[in-house]
Amino acid sequence: MQMRSKRHQGGFTLVEMAVVLVIIGVIIGAVMIGRDVQRNAEYTRIKQKFVDQWVVAYNSYHQRFGAPVGDNQAAPRLMVAGKEYDIDMANNTASKGAICNGSASTKSDQPVTAASQDGDKLRDFMRGAGISLPPGRGEGFEDRYVYLDTNGNPQEIQVCFQWNPAETASGAGNVMVISGLTPDLARSLDQMIDGKPDPQSGAFRQVGLNKRSVGSNADAESMEWKGNNTNKAGSAGAANSNVAGGGDDTDQVITLVAHYKMNQ
């Protein structure tokens, strides 16, 4: 009897391919979830270990001297530096009035970030008062904090304090100026501080937005933080978080500036 050899054709069945695709999808999903969890943990750490600790330092100074940082202790005006912060939005400049450890950067997409070149040193005021500072980037750079944006590029936060005149859209009174925030981080901090990411209300607001007008049709868009993590550094930023910004996953992400209203 003649034996016929049978040829077996190799390959995956549709069921096997479906299983492989499902496994790949699960792996990708797990990686993305892991990244989100890690990023959220970093944002929480920035708030608790850096921003909140600077609030504590500011409050400690005020409780010790009965005046904000840089104010006259003998005849306090209850303003940071004892004066209003004179903002020239047209020329993107500001007179001395903010208290910083050196000068924060000023960019065209960040109307007012921090102090002028001759701003007083925040570190000197705090250490001279015996106030403990957050570690920040280390000795001499306690006002800075470095983190990675969503594209893995380094970003630097800097804090300053200033007095905002009445009718300032980002909040009047004594505020902490926080520059170097990616839109994603800014929204996260706003959510943790105010309970909702609205850049024009509450204690945590975005700098550079026009004051919201009651009944305006633009209110829905202005409720969003300007810019998102697809905007690259140096761009103007999208008007709301749902608009793609034109950057790619290698660009450094655009950064924003926020004012955090102090309680005193």
State the average pLDDT over residues 191-211: 90
Give the start-to-end residue ranges of the domains of the chain: 15-261
Q: How confident is the model at residue 194 (pLDDT cuts 50, 70, 90)?
A: very high
The most confident of 55-59, 122-126, 227-231, 238-242, by mean pLDDT? 55-59
State the average pLDDT over residues 103-121: 44
Q: Which two tokens stand for residue 163?
A: 């007095």
Over residues 140-189, the pLDDT tens digits come to 899 999 999 988 899 999 999 989 888 888 989 999 999 999 999 999 99
Interacting residues of 133 by C-beta distance below 8 A, sequence separation 6+: 53, 57, 123, 126, 127, 142
What H or E segment, with its residue span, contains residue 122?
A: helix 122-128
Count of other CB atoms within 10 angstroms of residue 220: 9
| CA-CA-CA-CA torsion sign (22, 24, 27, 29) | negative
Over residues 143-157, the pLDDT tens digits come to 999 999 988 899 999
